[in-house]
């Protein structure tokens, strides 16, 4: 077929050699939106421009006749002129990409094809097509920027990440590769199971099959065989136009090691305290029996009597420590202190505790008061221990010449116990740990293990109640306990 030659810068009629049935298709091609066609002569000057190209550029048709692309489209000349020169030498250029300002528009992106044209065996010029790809290119750029932002966000929120499809690694961050002791190139295209320890492979396979989207832990395997404790979280994302799996990875090896060390220390401490608590009771009981016998004999001089009294006091203090150790061990291993509720008048229990403190601390004023109905179902020995701990704490941490106030208030839903002393305020930084085991404030003396308030809280919790502390200048320190009238299991 002879190639038609177009002489005017408007849509003309193709050469008669074009088949009649092809004319509608050729006309539609010239008018296609976003697809511009032009013919340039041997000097690469415009001789024909389609209406679609005129619309695309935003320039009038008169701007093209007899002018070069550099004169009409200076912003595209750097990329377009070399292609035109190649085509005028006889080379066919298909699908090249050119970008730059065009006419009255800003930066545009085109897919360009340039075809050499001949007439009678002589080179007559080139045919030029420009397909506007600006929207697609901008969408691709926006997608790449979004992916880069996502990668950056994932990189700072975890220790590394990977993209994989059916277990084959498509992309991996440098951080994750470094975590496994290899390079990104060594991981790309490999099965991710290569970096999963054998004991965790079934867990990973099950999670992949179920498309689990919640964090779970596994053991990873470095190239040198070293195991890593990892936490992973997977999500389905789009990658290269298809759904794949993105997995974020956190290295929790340090945390696991710390937890295991703390667990071993707790177990050792609890075992040690249990053994010490039980094994000390027998010799202590023998000491107490002997001291009691000496005191009852009544044939001691004053010096001997004082020494025996000191031994008895020390033995009672040691007995209290042993009971605290046993209670602590029981609370830790059994999940709390067990209670056996029975009917109890709490005001009577309070009277007995206060009377004991007045005997052992005759110079201290302990003011006890009860209001309302103080009857209920509680563990008598445990509430006696609770009162003893709180009153003893108040006596220990307040001046000798100040009173200790203890008040019981009965209400329809339960009982409120308040123990107050006028000692210096508890520092704010100590209040959050006041009820923790082995926590002793800066004002604590050498008497005790720092378990009294911890055990007090355990007793209150075992009865379904709550305990709090208030402390401040002019207020003193108040421990407030609320107990339901009937303990659980009553």
Q: Do residues 469 and 423 make contact, with C-beta atoms less than 8 angstroms apart? A: no
Q: Do residues 174 and 161 make contact, with C-beta atoms less than 8 angstroms apart? A: no
pLDDT for 392-406, tens place per residue? 899 988 999 999 999
* pLDDT at position 11: 40
Using a pLDDT cut of 70, give the percent of the chain over it.
86
pLDDT above 70: residue 427: yes
Residues 226 and 315 in one domain: no
Which of 248-252, 293-297, 423-427 is predicted least confidently? 293-297
Beta-bridge mates of residue 377: 343, 486
More confident residue, 451 or 10: 451
pLDDT above 60: residue 1: no
178-187 CB contacts, 8 Å cutoff, 24+ apart: 179/220, 179/222, 179/228, 179/249, 179/251, 180/220, 180/221, 180/222, 180/223, 180/228, 181/222, 181/223, 181/224, 181/226, 182/223, 186/223, 187/162
DSSP H helices in 58-197: 69-72, 77-88, 134-157, 174-179, 184-187
Where among 105, 132, 159 does a domain terminate? 132
Residues 349 and 403 in one domain: yes
Q: Do residues 476 and 423 make contact, with C-beta atoms less than 8 angstroms apart? A: yes
Domain presence at residue 60:
yes
Domain presence at residue 106:
yes
- Mean pLDDT of the 152-157 span: 62
Residue 45: both structure tokens together: 């000057």
Domain presence at residue 463:
yes
* pLDDT at position 14: 40
Residue 381: both structure tokens together: 């020995």
More confident residue, 240 or 303: 303
Which of 97-101, 110-114, 285-289 is predicted least confidently? 285-289
Q: What is the chain's mean pLDDT, rounded?
A: 83
Round to whole Å and give the CA distance between 339 and 324.
15
* pLDDT at position 376: 93
Residues 266 and 223 in one domain: no
pLDDT band at 27 (very low <50, low <70, confident <90, very high): low
Domain presence at residue 2:
no
Q: Which residues in 213-332 belong to E strands, given as ranges?
A: 216-221, 227-239, 242-251
Residue 441: both structure tokens together: 């404030």
Residues 160 and 290 in one domain: no
453 exposure class (CB count in 10 Å sphere: 0-12, 13-18, 19+): buried
pLDDT for 214-244, tens place per residue? 889 999 999 888 999 999 988 888 887 789 9
* pLDDT at position 230: 93
Q: In what order do the strands lie in the sheet with 168-172?
A: 168-172, 160-165, 242-251, 227-239, 216-221
pLDDT above 70: residue 481: yes
> Can you give the CATH number for the domain in which 304 is found?
1.10.287.130
Query: Per the structure, how many domains does the chain have?
Result: 4
Domain presence at residue 7:
no
Domain presence at residue 11:
no
Where among 334, 352, 376 does a domain terminate? 334
**Phi, psi values for residue 245, rounded to 5°:** -110, 125
> Can you give the CATH number for the domain in which 369 is found?
3.30.565.10
- Mean pLDDT of the 327-348 span: 83
| Residue showing tokens 């008497």 | 447
Residues 375 and 264 in one domain: no
pTM score, two decimals? 0.45
pLDDT above 90: residue 142: no
Q: Do residues 213 and 194 make contact, with C-beta atoms less than 8 angstroms apart? A: no
Q: Is 442 helix (H, G, I), strand (E, B) or coil?
A: coil
Where among 132, 161, 188 does a domain terminate? 132
Residues 322 and 348 in one domain: no
* pLDDT at position 463: 93
Q: Is 418 helix (H, G, I), strand (E, B) or coil?
A: strand
> Can you give the CATH number for the domain in which 65 is found?
3.30.450.20
The vertex-122 CA angle with 120 and 125, nearest 5°, equals: 110
pLDDT band at 419 (very low <50, low <70, confident <90, very high): very high
pLDDT band at 10 (very low <50, low <70, confident <90, very high): very low
Which of 165-169, 199-203, 295-299 is predicted least confidently? 295-299
Residue 99: both structure tokens together: 């970008």
Residue 138: both structure tokens together: 């901008």
The vertex-383 CA angle with 269 and 441, nearest 5°, equals: 50
* pLDDT at position 374: 93
Which of 58-62, 340-344, 355-359, 436-440 is predicted least confidently? 436-440
- Angle between helices 281-297 and 302-334 in degrees, nearest 10: 150
pLDDT band at 149 (very low <50, low <70, confident <90, very high): low
Domain presence at residue 489:
no
DSSP designation for 75: T
Residues 200 and 269 in one domain: no
Round to whole Å and give the CA distance between 116 and 381.
107
Domain presence at residue 59:
yes
Round to whole Å and give the CA distance between 172 and 163.
6
Beta-bridge mates of residue 344: 376
Domain that holds residue 307: 256-334
190 CB contacts (<8 Å, ≥6 apart)? Answer: 168, 169
Residues 150 and 282 in one domain: no
Residues 242 and 261 in one domain: no
pLDDT band at 273 (very low <50, low <70, confident <90, very high): low
Q: What CA–CA distances, in Å, run from 348 to 143, 353, 375, 378?
A: 78, 9, 10, 13
- Mean pLDDT of the 304-325 span: 81
**Phi, psi values for residue 193, rounded to 5°:** -60, -20
Beta-bridge mates of residue 109: 99
Work out the number of other CB atoms within 10 angstroms of the CB of residue 159.
18
Q: Is 354 helix (H, G, I), strand (E, B) or coil?
A: helix
* pLDDT at position 327: 79
pLDDT for 445-460, tens place per residue? 555 667 889 889 999 9
* pLDDT at position 443: 55
* pLDDT at position 173: 87
More confident residue, 103 or 289: 289
Q: What CA–CA distances, in Å, run from 389 to 357, 363, 455, 459?
A: 11, 19, 8, 11
* pLDDT at position 296: 84
Residue 408: both structure tokens together: 């019981």
pLDDT for 69-106, tens place per residue? 999 999 999 999 999 999 999 899 999 999 998 877 77
Round to whole Å and give the CA distance between 23 and 30.
11
Residues 173 and 158 in one domain: yes
Using a pLDDT cut of 90, give the percent of the chain over it.
36
pLDDT band at 22 (very low <50, low <70, confident <90, very high): very low
């Amino acid at each position: 077929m002879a190639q038609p030659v177009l002489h005017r810068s408007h849509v003309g009629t193709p050469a008669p050699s074009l088949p009649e049935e092809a004319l509608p298709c050729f006309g539609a091609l010239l008018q296609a939106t976003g697809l511009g066609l032009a013919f340039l002569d041997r000097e690469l000057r415009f001789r024909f421009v389609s209406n679609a190209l005129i619309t695309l550029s935003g320039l009038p048709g008169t701007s093209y006749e007899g002018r070069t692309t550099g004169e009409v489209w200076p912003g595209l000349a750097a990329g377009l002129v070399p292609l035109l020169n190649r085509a005028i030498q006889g080379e066919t250029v298909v699908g090249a990409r050119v970008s730059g300002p065009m006419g009255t528009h800003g930066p545009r992106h085109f897919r360009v094809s340039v075809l050499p044209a001949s007439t009678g065996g002589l080179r007559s010029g080139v045919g030029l097509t420009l397909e506007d790809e600006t929207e697609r290119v901008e969408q691709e750029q926006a997608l790449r920027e979004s992916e880069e932002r996502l990668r950056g966000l994932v990189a700072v929120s975890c220790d590394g990440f990977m993209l994989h499809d059916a277990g084959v690694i498509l992309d991996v961050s440098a951080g994750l590769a470094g975590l496994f002791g290899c390079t990104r190139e060594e991981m790309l295209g490999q099965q991710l199971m290569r970096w999963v320890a054998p004991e965790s492979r079934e867990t990973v396979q099950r999670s992949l099959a179920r498309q689990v989207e919640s964090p779970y832990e596994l053991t990873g395997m470095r190239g040198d065989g070293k195991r890593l404790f990892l936490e992973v979280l997977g999500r389905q994302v789009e990658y290269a136009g298809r759904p794949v799996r993105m997995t974020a990875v956190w290295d929790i090896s340090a945390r696991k090691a710390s937890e295991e060390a703390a667990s071993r220390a707790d177990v050792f401490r609890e075992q040690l305290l249990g053994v010490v608590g039980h094994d000390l009771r027998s010799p202590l009981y023998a000491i107490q029996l002997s001291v009691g016998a000496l005191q009852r004999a009544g044939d001691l001089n004053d010096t001997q009597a004082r020494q025996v009294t000191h031994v008895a006091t020390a033995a009672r203090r040691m007995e209290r420590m042993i009971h605290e150790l046993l209670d602590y061990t029981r609370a830790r291993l059994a999940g709390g202190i067990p209670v056996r509720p029975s009917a109890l008048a709490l005001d009577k229990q309070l009277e007995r505790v206060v009377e004991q403190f007045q005997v052992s601390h005759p110079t201290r004023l302990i003011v006890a008061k009860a209001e309302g109905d103080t009857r209920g179902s509680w563990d008598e020995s445990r509430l006696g221990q609770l009162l003893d701990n709180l009153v003893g704490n108040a006596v220990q941490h307040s001046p000798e010449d100040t009173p200790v106030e203890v008040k019981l208030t009965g209400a329809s839903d339960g009982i409120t116990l308040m123990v107050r002393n006028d000692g210096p305020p508890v520092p704010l930084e100590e209040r959050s740990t006041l009820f923790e085991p082995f926590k002793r404030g800066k004002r604590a003396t050498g008497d005790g293990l720092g378990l009294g308030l911890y055990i007090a809280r355990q007793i209150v919790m075992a009865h379904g109640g709550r305990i709090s502390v208030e402390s401040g200048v002019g207020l003193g320190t108040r421990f407030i306990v609320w107990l339901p009238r009937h303990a659980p299991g009553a």
